[in-house]
Amino acid sequence: MASILVIGSGLGGLLAAVRAADAGHRVVLVTKSVLPESNTRYAQGGIAAALFRDDSVDAHVLDTLRAGAGLCDPAAVRVLCEEGPARVRDLIRFGVDFDRDESGVARGLEAAHSRSRVVHAGGDATGAAVEAALVATVRRRAAIEVREHTMLVDLILDRGEVVGARVLGPNGGQLSLAADAVILATGGAGALYTHTTNPSVATGDGVAAAWRAGASVADLEFYQFHPTALAVPGTPLVSEAVRGEGAVLRDQLGERFMQGEHPDAELAPRDVVARAIASQMQRQGGAPALLDATALGRELLETRFPTITAACRAAGLDWAVDPIPVAPAAHYWMGGIETDDWGRTSLPGLFAVGEVARTGAHGANRLASNSLLEAAVFADRAVRALGQPWRASATLDNATRPHPLVEPAVTAIGTSSANLGTLVNRETLQQLLWDHAGVHRSGVGLKHAASTLATWSAPDPTSLDVAAVEDRNLLDLARLLVTAALAREESRGAHYRSDFAATRPELARSVSQVRRSHSLTLVPAKEAIAC
Ligand code: SIN
């Protein structure tokens, strides 16, 4: 029996905690907010898996590889698609009540899938249903100690091995939690951008802490923008499944514009649709595009998409009658902490599962509804790998392993981490990334972002304030993302640069970043993580 510290309470964290407890381990599960709050809870479309007779693992693999724009790790994709159906069946056993129709379990179509394979629950409330079932399961496990309102600050290392984490507790004090292994499941970092479909807890805490501890992070230039967030304050998600049911995109004059962009029109890959909408918005002076779902009829809209119907209603919109305003918003980070196919990072003792991880399953552009699947598959595998000899660097396949980023860019990050400049302001950082490291990028804009970020300083790392700890993380991550985006002089998947608009086949390799020993540490010497 080992002591396992799980950090994060989305699908990856909850499932890892349950699996670890069932395997006989003692588990402490910490989460920044309350247990049910996570990115998972807001997922709408569903979970893609080859569960149906007219589908196959090979077809799912092919669709995932195509969407990933040449950057997927084929082995990770195969693991994802092969083990996905069993993990969906596990979720059913844990109490997720997937929607049914006359044929059995109902399924939807989403962009870039060659067939309908997306299972959903509560219509468009799949994430909420998964979260609720797993939270209830966690609560039934006596071996899991849950600590809410407890935020990761930094990982603790001993001779290069992760042995716990320093956290900010509910009473505002920092404390150390020791563990035989740490499983990070802290999700993405939508808070890097002005507009996001993510909840406010998504501040990339796990990626930032892992990088500071010396873990390898990769693919950080690839941030997926969902094409259709409702263009009202809070930018709630309008699932791709709506377009899968037949909704179309129109400009301000009511004309469809996706047919000229891609043969699959509204069901083109997510990055293509997001860029087309952003370009259309530029042409019409910033006004949002329109998503016309009126042909679907009120009954289907209200039963299949109750969450979106409620969001429209709250904004004073009736989407059964009128097209609704939509715009792209930051949605999912393909990059993250580099792992092998067992969730093992480059640091012994540290696992990463879900959006916080870069498994290689998503490449440059995640296929719709593969995110919950990835969290389930790799959380399960990480727990199976607990207690096995740590062979992460040996098991990372050298053929597909990311290249380390060129040294000068990494040096620039380390140097600019000094607390010398103006204290970072979150809204200004979000606007900077939205303007220069968003849907459309250019070398000039990215250089401006990099030099601006270099003038900002992080809040005091010993701060006892959640917002300050988050801002420190966001500043580190913004620098890493911009550095990676500058280094990739091509356009591929979600990374589009107007100065390098073509895909360059010779750059079909991931890029990783590792903190060099000469980087400045942000924690005082007496508390410094040993690295
Ligand atoms: C959606 O419902 O469109 C989001 C699904 C996803 O992000 O995979």
In a domain, 56, yes or no: no
The pLDDT value given to residue 462:
82
**Dihedral sign computed on CA atoms, order 413, 418, 420, 426:** positive
In a domain, 214, yes or no: no
270 is catalytic: yes
Which DSSP string corresponds to 267-281?
GS-HHHHHHHHHHHH
In a domain, 3, yes or no: no
**Dihedral sign computed on CA atoms, order 259, 71, 48, 138:** negative
270, 358, 366, 472: the active-site residue: 270
Query: Distance between CA atoms of 289 and 276, rounded to whole angstroms?
Result: 10
The pLDDT value given to residue 410:
36
Average pLDDT, the chain: 92
Query: Distance between CA atoms of 52 and 342, rounded to whole angstroms?
Result: 26
The pLDDT value given to residue 392:
53
Task: For strands 3-7 and 181-184, give the pairing.
Answer: parallel
The pLDDT value given to residue 391:
63
- Same domain for 233 and 325, yes or no, is yes
141-193, pLDDT tens digit by residue?
999 999 999 999 999 999 999 999 999 999 989 999 999 999 999 999 999 99
44 ligand 1 Cβ < 6 A: yes
pTM of the complete model: 0.93
In a domain, 451, yes or no: yes
The range of the structural domain enclosing residue 412 comes to: 399-527
In a domain, 11, yes or no: no
CATH of the domain at 293: 3.90.700.10
Over residues 359-364, mean pLDDT: 98
At residue 421 the predicted structure's pLDDT band, cuts being 50, 70 and 90, is confident
- Same domain for 231 and 316, yes or no, is yes
Q: What's the token pair of residue 37?
A: 């709050």
Q: Which of 464, 460, 458, 408 is nearest to 429 (CA)?
A: 458
- Same domain for 325 and 413, yes or no, is no
Q: What's the token pair of residue 381?
A: 């595998």
The pLDDT value given to residue 53:
95
Domain endpoint, select from 283, 313, 330: 330
The pLDDT value given to residue 404:
57
Q: Cα(232) to centroid of ligand 1, in Å?
A: 19
Task: For strands 161-168 and 174-178, give the pairing.
Answer: antiparallel
100-131, pLDDT tens digit by residue?
999 999 999 998 999 999 999 999 999 999 99
Query: Distance between CA atoms of 322 and 473, rounded to whole angstroms?
Result: 41
Is the pLDDT reported for residue 398 higher than 50?
A: no
Is the pLDDT reported for residue 531 higher than 60?
A: no
Q: Which of 159, 212, 160 is nearest to 414 (CA)?
A: 212
The pLDDT value given to residue 523:
31
CATH of the domain at 473: 1.20.58.100
Q: Which long-range contacts (CB under 8 A, 24 or more apart) does 255-260 make?
A: 257/289
- Same domain for 289 and 405, yes or no, is no
The pLDDT value given to residue 503:
98
Domain endpoint, select from 330, 359, 391: 330
239 ligand 1 Cβ < 6 A: yes
At residue 389 the predicted structure's pLDDT band, cuts being 50, 70 and 90, is confident
In a domain, 155, yes or no: no
Q: Cα(368) to centroid of ligand 1, in Å?
A: 5
53-87, pLDDT tens digit by residue?
999 999 999 999 999 999 999 999 999 999 999 99
Integer angstrom CA distances of residue 30 from 5, 6, 134, 177, 350:
8, 6, 15, 10, 15
Residue 366 DSSP code: P
The pLDDT value given to residue 402:
64
In a domain, 403, yes or no: yes
The pLDDT value given to residue 71:
97
Query: Distance between CA atoms of 325 and 229, rounded to whole angstroms?
Result: 8
The pLDDT value given to residue 527:
31
- Please choose from 40, 41, 42, 44 the residue to mutate so as to test ligand 1's pocket, defined by most ligand atoms within 8 A of CB: 44
Atom of ligand 1 at shortest range from CA of 368: 8
286-328, pLDDT tens digit by residue?
999 999 999 999 999 999 999 999 999 999 999 999 999 999 9
Domain count, the chain: 2
Q: Cα(384) to centroid of ligand 1, in Å?
A: 28
Q: How far is CA 348 from the centre of its chain?
A: 23
Is the pLDDT reported for residue 407 higher than 90?
A: no
Domain endpoint, select from 330, 349, 382: 330
For residue 256, give the amino acid letter: R
In a domain, 273, yes or no: yes
